[in-house]
Structure 1
Amino acid sequence: MTILATTNNAHTGNFSSLSHTNVVATGTRMVGPDILRSLAILLVMLVHLPLNATPSLLVTVREYGWLGVDIFFVLSGYLIGTQLFREMTRTGAVDFKSFYLRRAFRIFPAFFVVLGLYALVPVLRDNPTMQPLWKFATFTVNLGFDPREGNAFSQAWTLAVEEQFYLVLPLLVLLLYKRIGTGWLLALAGLLTVTGIVLRYTIWDAQVGILIAEGQFRPAFATYLRDVYYPTYTRLDGLLFGVVLAAARFFKPALCRRYLPPTVTIPSGLIFVIAALLCFVDRGPLAGQGIFPVFQAQLGAVAGFPLISIGIALLFCAMLDLEHVLSRWPVPGAALIATLSYSLYLTHKSAFHVMRQVVGEENLQGGVGFLAYLAASIAVAAVLWLCVEQPFLRLRDRLRWL
């Protein structure tokens, strides 16, 4: 976002580190996390793909492609949570200096290279206008992010959510370690989940719903994104349940084996995912519709995020338990896409935009366009990975004080 047997070089989890945290002690990759990671980035790319280059079989999937973000959040919460739990168990403390420096080496180089290109080479921007550079540089771009005021490099909002979350999580782990038990942890997770639901409901009722009632659908869409979809305080569900899963598997492995075997987590995970998708069947402003059932749209905005996060966490738990089975049938290309996931995340929108400018959107229709966009994105991501990500990772690993 592996965790069960990572080397000492394990990285913190999010879009950036998910492609590098699945190396087990034997040096082999874990198939389950790779499959989820590659699925997540492909879904994110799909939702940004021009509709005229989307194969007919993927048009419906494209409407839900943004859920790839929630997959990443769960993976990230699990990975970073396990890393911190392992360190606390081993040393009784959290090395904040090492933690944040390692994150800086992992996150900053590729991010700031791409941000610099967006700033200095406007032709690369996927949208003519973008948010102020300082908001990207401080990882606060998701707060007060109104897409009407600039939408270039908009995918950076997810990285901002995770960076803000991980500023707080190590301190929480340090403060709560050995001070609360399983029951209190679940109660805290439940309280945070309910708080998120109430907060989203309140924002919707006070702002989005009023605009919808007045027939101002475009402003309602922008307000929904700005005040419900993007802010960290309304999007903690995936990260939260990822951390809860990490705590359960790390501190209570016997209970997990007993009460959360794949025969339980697979069907229950599917039930939660299906319930979430039903909530999002009519996503109101996100679907760009002029008329829609208001209650249905509100239900998705308010309750859909925790439902999908719980479902993903349960399915991920099953995949970890079934790694010995999944490893026999690795999905072709999953390891490559997973490895490039952070670079793909940073560059795919710009790659799509440049392809349209160079080749002409009229020449990028249907399957040909789909393959061309995919190939261009992978090529650009590979360059960024080879020229920026890898050198800084090697440098970081040479600095033994990290």
Structure 2
Amino acid sequence: MGGRGTAIGFEDFQGTRNFAALDGLRAISVFLVFSDHFGGIAWTRFSGWLGVHAFFVLSGFLITTLLLRERDTTGRVSLKAFYIRRGTRLLPLYLLVLAAAMGLSYHAQNGTWEQMKAAAPYYLTLLNELADMAPLHMTWTLGVEWKYYLIWPALLVVFGATLRSGLATVGFCVTALVMIGIGGFQWNLLLPQNYIGMLMGSALAILMHSRRTFWLARGLMGHGAALAIVLLLFVWHRRFPVIAGRIDAPLAIAGYCLLITLLLPALIACRTWAARALSAKWLVFIGHRSYAMYLVQYMAAHAVIAVLPGTTIVGGLLLSLSFAAALLVSDLLYRGFEKPITDWGHRWARAVKQPVAPRAEGSRRPLA
């Protein structure tokens, strides 16, 4: 399925440091989320909320790939440096937006201030998924990701020294989630379907990091494979309520995450039509700002409604104006706040790493 003309080699993958098409996928995913929240009935039927699970798959794949490459380069993984990078990447912007939401709610003189006061203890401890409905309720996804960041890297460092043990660690985690789901012990703090996508992304990263198993992903790096998966994803979005009704919603979400996982190799292979399409500069531009857009989406929508008083803004008009407003604000935040702090965090992470002599070139090899 890969095709000699589209599939990249193992060395090409290991030498690639920037996967532009994955930023494009972020852009599509954040638009899908906006469509579900602001697009009205016509867009809601497309189940754009599934876009958050695409973010989960991407997170699992990217952080695991970075951890594995760090171990190959330096001989170890610095969890301290990892948490510094993640913390400075996610928390400052989140806390800034949280402070803005608190201030706006206080001055609004309506029920949102009471909602924010009740939710604040959860928002400040990254237990967002336990908060009742309030402004920034969509940050439940940040709570999920942060818990994965706290646990998965440590498990990978302790138990994932080889290809077999790494996959076994993923398998153990998946089994634990399945048992939780079957046993009916789900609660808001741990819904198995919210973590399965990140585990799938991590499993793909482990498979692609080994020369022995890279061929499995290489078989998906073709035009035909990409087209088939994209069509299935379209059907999954359009018919999700029907699919969920037949196989249960958690399994339907897991199926969606699997399709996103299977699509990633075609996006990493820069020669496929899907990779070229999602590597478009305008999509990459949006993808880089997608985190800020996700955080400010409701404030952007309320600003649009406030600027056009007396006008009924629904459906596609509210969606397009809210998306544009969020992109404008997010660009300012990205340039003036998010990226400078993220860059500083990367410098800090490099500084705290204990000096470890790099492995000799001949001994640098992927997880095997």
TM class by smaller structure: 0.7 to 0.9
- Does 2:358 correspond to 1:401? no
Alpha-carbon distance in 2 for matches of 1:150, 1:70: 20
Q: Superposition pairs for residues 244-283 of structure 1, below 5 Å?
A: 244-252=203-211, 254-256=214-216, 259-262=219-222, 265-266=225-226, 269=229, 273=233, 280-282=240-242
1:121 to 104, 112, 128: 104
- Does 2:343 correspond to 1:356? no
Q: Superposition pairs for residues 22-61 of structure 1, below 5 Å?
A: 24=18, 30-49=19-38, 51=40, 56=42, 58=43, 60-61=45-46
Aligned to 2:84: 101
Q: Superposition pairs for residues 3-402 of structure 1, below 5 Å?
A: 4-5=14-15, 24=18, 30-49=19-38, 51=40, 56=42, 58=43, 60-61=45-46, 64-122=47-105, 128=112, 129-130=115-116, 131-142=118-129, 144-145=130-131, 149-178=132-161, 180-182=162-164, 185-186=166-167, 188-203=169-184, 227=187, 231=190, 233-252=192-211, 254-256=214-216, 259-262=219-222, 265-266=225-226, 269=229, 273=233, 280-282=240-242, 297=245, 299-323=247-271, 325=273, 329=277, 330-331=279-280, 333-360=282-309, 362-399=311-348, 400-402=350-352
TM-score, length-normalised on structure 1?
0.72
Residue 269 to residue 192, structure 1, CA distance change in 2 (3 Å): farther
Alpha-carbon distance in 2 for matches of 1:327, 1:272: 17
Residue 331 to residue 271, structure 1, CA distance change in 2 (3 Å): closer
Q: Cα offset for 1:377?
A: 1.4
Alpha-carbon distance in 1 for matches of 2:343, 2:258: 35
Give the paired residue count: 334
Residue 374 to residue 194, structure 1, CA distance change in 2 (3 Å): same
Residues 197 and 257, structure 2, Cα contact 8 Å, conserved in 1 = yes
More contact order relative to length (CA 8 Å, sep ≥ 6): 2
Residues 156 and 166, structure 2, Cα contact 8 Å, conserved in 1 = no
Aligned to 2:360: none
Residue 278 to residue 113, structure 1, CA distance change in 2 (3 Å): closer
Counterpart residue identity of residue 251, structure 2 = A
TM-score, length-normalised on structure 2?
0.78
5+ unaligned residues in a row in structure 2: which ranges? 1-11, 353-368
Residues 156 and 169, structure 2, Cα contact 8 Å, conserved in 1 = no
Alpha-carbon distance in 2 for matches of 1:398, 1:181: 30
Counterpart residue identity of residue 240, structure 2 = F
Alpha-carbon distance in 2 for matches of 1:100, 1:265: 36
Residue 125 to residue 167, structure 1, CA distance change in 2 (3 Å): farther
Q: Cα offset for 1:99?
A: 1.3
Counterpart residue identity of residue 196, structure 2 = D
Q: Deviations over 1:169-188 (max 9, x none)?
A: 2211111233x543x55455
Aligned-pair identity in percent equals: 25
5+ unaligned residues in a row in structure 1: which ranges? 8-23, 25-29, 207-225, 284-295
CA-based RMSD? 3.4
Alpha-carbon distance in 2 for matches of 1:385, 1:80: 21
Q: Cα offset for 1:317?
A: 1.4
Q: Cα offset for 1:49?
A: 0.7
